[in-house]
Amino acid sequence: MPVRIKEPIEKAIGVTFKNKDLIRQAVVHRSYLNEHPDFPLGHNERLEFLGDAVLELIVTEYLYEKYENPEGELTNWRAALVNADMLSSICSEMEVEEYLFLSKGEAKDKNTKARRYILANAFEAIIGAIYLDQGWDKSKEFIHTHVLCKLPHILEHRLYIDPKSRFQEASQERAGITPSYKVLSEEGPDHEKIFDVGVYIGKELVATGKGMSKQEAQVAAAEKGLEVKDWK
């Protein structure tokens, strides 16, 4: 029996599928099957595996053909285009989240790092589904429309450089000071600890950031600091 799904997902992503089960499976998270063992489709992880490879090759081909920059720079640009934050953001823009098959617990757990990864993985699974259903050219068109269009913004704002490096460069250039980071608090058990870190320019606390590691919290603080100082 075919699985019913809100067909507007095809309108949301701009692709009409021949095999509807492919797009349906692309938005099935593993957690949903734990609560619905009789669900007739599998989860999306195999499609994600395929879509990840298709995405990386198409982006790599585009960068290689369009730019003569050194390999290291192209690698950083590609990473900025295909990282989880970028893909989850694109997925949210396309309003795919409302079509996800999630467990009740995952459905409630919004605006978290875990949800970002679920969205990013679903985006890659959708690419895998498009590739199986309609081939290379349609996959390429989809990736150009939704992913590669982000490249000018990334290059203009130097988003291929990590936030800590960008904040340090801006701080040294504008204030003549190398920023420092300080752990302000730690919460939770050792295996689920949340760090709250402040970034300082001299004695000035510019911004704070939270993360599941000190490094992650520092990156979050630096990103917030760029916004606070309007150094983006």
Measured CA to CA, the distance from residue 158 to residue 206 in angstroms comes to 21
Measured CA to CA, the distance from residue 16 to residue 9 in angstroms comes to 9
Binding positions for Mg(2+): 48, 121, 124
Instruction: Find the length of the chain.
Output: 232
Helix, strand or coil for residue 203? coil
Composition of the chain by helix, strand, coil, percent to 5: 60, 10, 25
Q: Would you call 9 exposed, middle or buried from its count of C-beta atoms within 10 A (0-12, 13-18, 19+)? A: buried
Does the annotation count 52 as an active-site position? yes
Binding positions: 48, 121, 124
Dihedral of the alpha carbons of 98, 100, 104, 106, in degrees to the nearest 10: -100
The catalytically annotated residue of 106, 124, 133, 223 is 124
The catalytically annotated residue of 7, 45, 52, 98 is 52
Any idea which residues carry the catalytic annotation? 52, 124
